[in-house]
Structure 1
Amino acid sequence: MSGPTADALFELTDALLATGPVISLPYLSLDGLHRRGHGSTYAALAQGRVDAEAARGLLAGSLPGVTHPVFALDGSVWARSDAECSPGRGYYYHPSKHSAGQPIVAGWAYCWLAALELAANSWTAPVDARRLVPGEHPSAVAAVQIRGLLQRRPELGSRTPLFVFDGDYDSVRLALGLAGAPAQLLIRVRCDRSFYGAPSPRHRPGVVRLRWHGAKFACANPTTWPTPDAVHTCADEQ
């Protein structure tokens, strides 16, 4: 797309990034970065298109060169409680907003992929953002995002980047979704999570039904912990 509509969409994006909370769309046209009338705002949204893949490629190509690349994946929710006709709206957990006394709101959920630094600071480099379709699992979307980044930046594979996740992500689903990918995964495990080992073979005659699970490993119950293969202990300065 080219012409005035493309320019209006570009300026609308600038205004959205530079302006604080707004009541409605026409207020964005009042920002100094948006030099057109409020009518062009609606025209830009109705006729404009953003090439998401080109944007992802541009962001991935702008990543700084580091020896040990680290990325974080997390989700955020945009509450749309009153927008009953919004397409793709679902029900998601929100840490600070409640509905009927529960931290569940109707809205849109986004999966973010951002580059971090090993040094402690407050800056990140967003690389990818995808909106969840109701019913999609965040871990499955995260695996798609990681594979997409490794395809756009294949040289990262030689440094085996580290991807970190919060406890809302499923470690098993991520490991299966990224099998064979040159990536390291660091996932926070909830204290009440349980895992099961491989089932042991049965030798009892006449038993046809096979076991699905082996020994249970419950994080909250130390008596179920097996002998570790390796132990790593470190101290953080904070």
Structure 2
Amino acid sequence: MGLVEHEVQRDAFTVVAEFRSELYACLTARSDALFELCDALLCTDDPVRTLVDLALDPEHRRGHGALYSGINHGRIDLARLRRALTSVPLPRAGDGRLVLAVDVSPWLRPDADTSSDRSFCHTFGRGLGKHQMAPGWPYSIVAALETGRTSRTALLDAIRLEPGADLAAVTASQVRDVVQRLVDAGQWREGDPEVLVVLDAGYDAPRIAHLLADLPVEVLGRLRSDRVMRKPVPVPWICPPQGGRPPKHGGEFVFGRAESWGEVTAATVTNTDRYGTATAQAWDRLHPRLTRRAAWLDHEGPLPIIEGTVIRLAVEKLPSGGVNKPAWLRWSGTGAGPADVDRCWQAFLRRFDVEHTFRRLKQTLGWTRPKLRDPAAADRWTWLVLAAHAQLRLAHPLARDLRRPWERPAEPNRLTPARVRRGFRNLHAKTGTPAGAPKTHSPRPRTPGRLEEPTARHPLRRRTPPRHRRAYARPAHHKKGTKPRRGSSPASPVHRHDPDDVG
């Protein structure tokens, strides 16, 4: 072992030990039980199947009763834990820029009628048209992305979305808090490159960029392929003979019509090993035409003009062999050059590392395995999983490749978090635990008492719009009191008259 490698390992060991001490200080009630539960989560060999199995590990010195007591009645200082997650070394891009990815991952609870605050979550299925909505707890998670061919991310924050929450407003508030903690921790200073926030197609990227305009951030989001943007008004504007005020919007930029695109502002062609030839084209100063509805209904004053750069990314092939369609991206900055275009689409491809992180949290660390009833208990378990994931990332330089006989040797500094978890028990023996030893006592005698009242149930029902609020006009031959068309059955659902129908 060289001197440089020894210094790196010593610094990493110090960071891990300090984070574990800070984590224990963040646990304000049932701290010993919660801390040992997190250690058992890190030191167990197999993927987590049930929560009670963690009580059988040597690192969890208490019984299963203490485990459930810590989950259901413990307390965590989330403000301090959030500061601890942003104070550790974070991954950065090649230019030293922080790249944050925001995405929602559901904790599905379809049969938990006694669990409150559930909402319908979008789930992806295998195959075309297999997507469906299932009840559960959606969590909005912010992670710092790492450069290079790796799937490691640094999880910084998690918020459970309340039913009916405004996703754009909650995301903007969450990103604002994370960026402020990064500034307070010294992760971003004046003169550093602006923080890049990467979003998927489910977010309103222009609105989020407008809400975060006062922060040193850039918002990069994916757009649907059927969107229509507006070009800026030509300068100088020639007033028509009939007069009138100058328009706010220029011509249309239809994603599906190439003849409406106009001149390309910047274009790059890059040869990649994974996607083949990647061609990116950019158009500057495009904006959506806003109307006073939905989120902009209560906006005070005139509606803003949110300009940005639209990027069209087309690759030669996909690794999965799926349908190869171009991706449309929107960057909140203007005046993009070739370097900015390359940086944006490469950062968007790194966003898919969050999907691997979600799969690791659910399949290996067992994030969504426990059948918890209380959403507050689900929040405590979620933060314990995030703290365990942070320790696996920080302990990466200290791990050894304990591979299975059928696995290939990993390259130096390329161990996956699952392989780091295999050797964490050896690191746990060196760092020790700040948790106190359990107290031995005999079980109390069971006293007879009255039966508990039935638990309240919170069933979910899909809301459907009333029939009299149709968005389209009813044809004349479908109106009430008219005869059906010739050849149609009176019992047909189209012509069946409802006494409550006021169409």
Partner in structure 1 of residue 106 of structure 2: 77
Q: Closer, same or farther in 2 for the Cα pair 1:181/1:47, shift >3 Å? A: same
1:8 aligned residue (23, 33, 36): 33
Q: Closer, same or farther in 2 for the Cα pair 1:153/1:214, shift >3 Å? A: same
Is this contact kept in 1: 2:140–2:158, CA < 8 A?
yes
Q: 2 CA distance for matches of 1:133 and 1:153?
A: 25
Q: 1:182-222 CA distances to partner (integer Å, 9 max, x unpaired)?
A: 011211222122334689999979x9xxx997654331222
2:49 aligned residue (22, 44, 68): 22
Q: 1:75-94 CA distances to partner (integer Å, 9 max, x unpaired)?
A: 11111111122121110111
Partner in structure 2 of residue 173 of structure 1: 207
Which structure exhibits the higher relative contact order, with contacts defined as CA atoms closer than 8 Å and separated by 6 or more residues?
2
Is this contact kept in 1: 2:195–2:216, CA < 8 A?
yes
Structure 1 residue 165 displacement after superposition: 1.4
Structure 1 residue 225 displacement after superposition: 2.8
2:90 aligned residue (61, 64, 76): 64
Partner in structure 2 of residue 109 of structure 1: 138
Structure 1 residue 16 displacement after superposition: 4.2
Partner in structure 2 of residue 44 of structure 1: 70
Deviates more, 1:132-141 or 1:76-85: 132-141
Structure 1 residue 57 displacement after superposition: 0.7
Amino acid of the structure 2 residue aligned with 1:177:
L
Structure 1 residue 162 displacement after superposition: 1.3
Deviates more, 1:73-82 or 1:46-55: 46-55
Unmatched runs of 5 consecutive residues or more in structure 1: none
Is this contact kept in 1: 2:90–2:144, CA < 8 A?
no
2:168 aligned residue (124, 139, 149): 139
Is this contact kept in 2: 1:97–1:103, CA < 8 A?
no
The count of aligned residue pairs is 232
Q: Closer, same or farther in 2 for the Cα pair 1:68/1:85, shift >3 Å? A: same
Amino acid of the structure 1 residue aligned with 2:267:
H
Is this contact kept in 1: 2:106–2:138, CA < 8 A?
yes
Q: Closer, same or farther in 2 for the Cα pair 1:232/1:212, shift >3 Å? A: closer
Q: Closer, same or farther in 2 for the Cα pair 1:9/1:122, shift >3 Å? A: same
- 1:146-185, aligned counterparts within 5 Å? 146-154=175-183, 155=186, 156=188, 158=190, 159=192, 160-185=194-219
Q: 1:127-178 CA distances to partner (integer Å, 9 max, x unpaired)?
A: 1111111222333222222211221122425321111111111112211221
Q: Closer, same or farther in 2 for the Cα pair 1:212/1:13, shift >3 Å? A: farther
Q: Report SS of the residue matched to 1:10.
A: helix
Instruction: Tell me whether 1:92 sits opposite 2:121 in the alignment.
Output: yes
Is this contact kept in 1: 2:28–2:75, CA < 8 A?
no
Instruction: Tell me whether 1:231 sits opposite 2:266 in the alignment.
Output: yes
Amino acid of the structure 1 residue aligned with 2:266:
V
Q: Report SS of the residue matched to 1:20.
A: coil
Q: 1 CA distance for matches of 2:65 and 2:240?
A: 73
Instruction: Tell me whether 1:191 sits opposite 2:225 in the alignment.
Output: yes
Partner in structure 2 of residue 126 of structure 1: 155
Q: 1 CA distance for matches of 2:148 and 2:135?
A: 36
Amino acid of the structure 1 residue aligned with 2:225:
C
Q: 1 CA distance for matches of 2:189 and 2:231?
A: 30
Is this contact kept in 2: 1:150–1:157, CA < 8 A?
no
Q: Closer, same or farther in 2 for the Cα pair 1:221/1:26, shift >3 Å? A: same
Structural RMSD (CA): 3.3
Is this contact kept in 1: 2:105–2:138, CA < 8 A?
yes
Q: TM-score, normalised by structure 2?
A: 0.41
- 1:204-223, aligned counterparts within 5 Å? 215-223=251-259
Q: TM-score, normalised by structure 1?
A: 0.81
Q: 1:80-133 CA distances to partner (integer Å, 9 max, x unpaired)?
A: 1111221211101111489xx642111011111111122221111111111111
Q: Closer, same or farther in 2 for the Cα pair 1:117/1:102, shift >3 Å? A: closer
Q: 2 CA distance for matches of 1:56 and 1:202?
A: 58
Q: 1 CA distance for matches of 2:241 and 2:53?
A: 73
Q: 2 CA distance for matches of 1:39 and 1:16?
A: 17
Amino acid of the structure 2 residue aligned with 1:232:
A
* Higher Rg of the two aligned structures: 2
